[in-house]
Amino acid sequence: MKYRYNYENGVIKGNIHSLESFGLVDGPGVRYVVFMQGCALRCKYCHNPETWSGGGSLWTPQQLFDKVYRYHEYWQNNGGITVSGGEPLLQIEFLTEFFRLAKEKNIHTAVDTAGQPFTNEPDRTAKFEELMKFTDLVILDLKEWSSEKHKALTGKGNENIKAMAVWLSEHGKDLWIRHVLVPNLTDGEEDLKAMGEFIASLKTVKKVEILPYHAFGMPKWEKLGLDYTLSKTETPTQDEIKRAEELLGIKNY
């Protein structure tokens, strides 16, 4: 997957979908959350399909930082900035410069990603390493364990995503792991056990979360003329969530 760049008079610009000034679930503390445009995955339960391609507005890193920094007093000592998507790693050079500006002000930075753009190609790895210099936390969405099932769910395999998790662990980068629990789709016993063993092998995991599936994004699919195949899928029960947590071996990290 190619990175996406927008330049104007030699200045890089990021394609931004939307902004949320008071996020409470996308990293520690109060967060300003930036949602970027563009994603190579086509998750069956995606609640922001409008971020897949097209749309958005262009910002320079400085323009966006100046906008975001107006809210820094809300973050106090444990909040900061989270960049989500779409898939923020597709615009890695913009993201790197944006986070560099944030770290000049000692702001905590987090990237919320599905990891799909990660590769071990030297030039791509160099860009990723540069981004990680200015990133405090990676929130990684592990959607499925089996690469085959991951491809059926999202359109892409996941071996590179697992490799990214290992890279982050080996390089001492803090990780939060998230898994969207969809009844009869991402709740297989063997897959959850295997995912749990993998997570336990990582050295820098600080938190693991189950995110219960919901159909809040369905109206967006319908508006875009897309076929939402999970319309009859129910939100998992508390018992189903507890079972998944046990299979994943979730504990207080």
pLDDT in tens, 187-239: 999 999 999 999 999 999 999 999 999 988 899 999 999 999 999 999 999 99
Query: What is the model's pLDDT at position 1?
Result: 43
Q: Is the pLDDT of residue 2 over 60?
A: no
Q: Is the pLDDT of residue 176 over 70?
A: yes
Number of structural domains found in the chain: 1
Contacts of 74 (CB under 8 A, 6+ apart): 21, 22, 30, 32
Six-digit token pair at 185?
């789709």
Closest CA to 54 of 41, 40, 37: 37
Q: Is the pLDDT of residue 253 over 60?
A: no
Contacts of 10 (CB under 8 A, 6+ apart): none
8: number of Cβ within 10 Å: 9
Which helix (DSSP H) or strand (DSSP E) does residue 210 occupy? strand 205-212
Local confidence band at 110 (pLDDT 50, 70, 90 cut-offs): very high
Query: What is the model's pLDDT at position 252?
Result: 56
Cβ 8 vs Cβ 132: under 8 Å: no
Query: What is the model's pLDDT at position 53?
Result: 85
The 10s digit of each residue's pLDDT in 124-143 is: 889 999 999 999 999 999 99
Cβ 132 vs Cβ 99: under 8 Å: no
In a domain, 1, yes or no: no
Only one residue has tokens 């003329």, namely 225
% the chain with pLDDT above 90? 85
Local confidence band at 4 (pLDDT 50, 70, 90 cut-offs): low
Least confident of 3-7, 21-25, 211-215: 3-7
Q: Is the pLDDT of residue 95 over 80?
A: yes
Longest Cα separation, the chain: 56
Closest CA to 213 of 192, 230, 229: 230
Only one residue has tokens 């790197």, namely 96
Rounded to whole angstroms, the Cα distance separating 27 from 108 reads: 10
In a domain, 253, yes or no: no
Q: Is the pLDDT of residue 100 over 70?
A: yes
Query: What is the model's pLDDT at position 157?
Result: 96
More confident residue, 194 or 252: 194
Name the average pLDDT for the chain.
93
More confident residue, 39 or 4: 39
Only one residue has tokens 């997957």, namely 1
Rounded to whole angstroms, the Cα distance separating 77 from 28 reads: 10
More confident residue, 9 or 205: 205
Segments forming the whole domain that contains residue 230: 6-248
More confident residue, 207 or 250: 207
Beta strands in 147-204 (DSSP E): 174-181
Domain containing residue 203: CATH number: 3.20.20.70
Q: Is the pLDDT of residue 155 over 70?
A: yes
% the chain with pLDDT above 70? 97
In a domain, 152, yes or no: yes
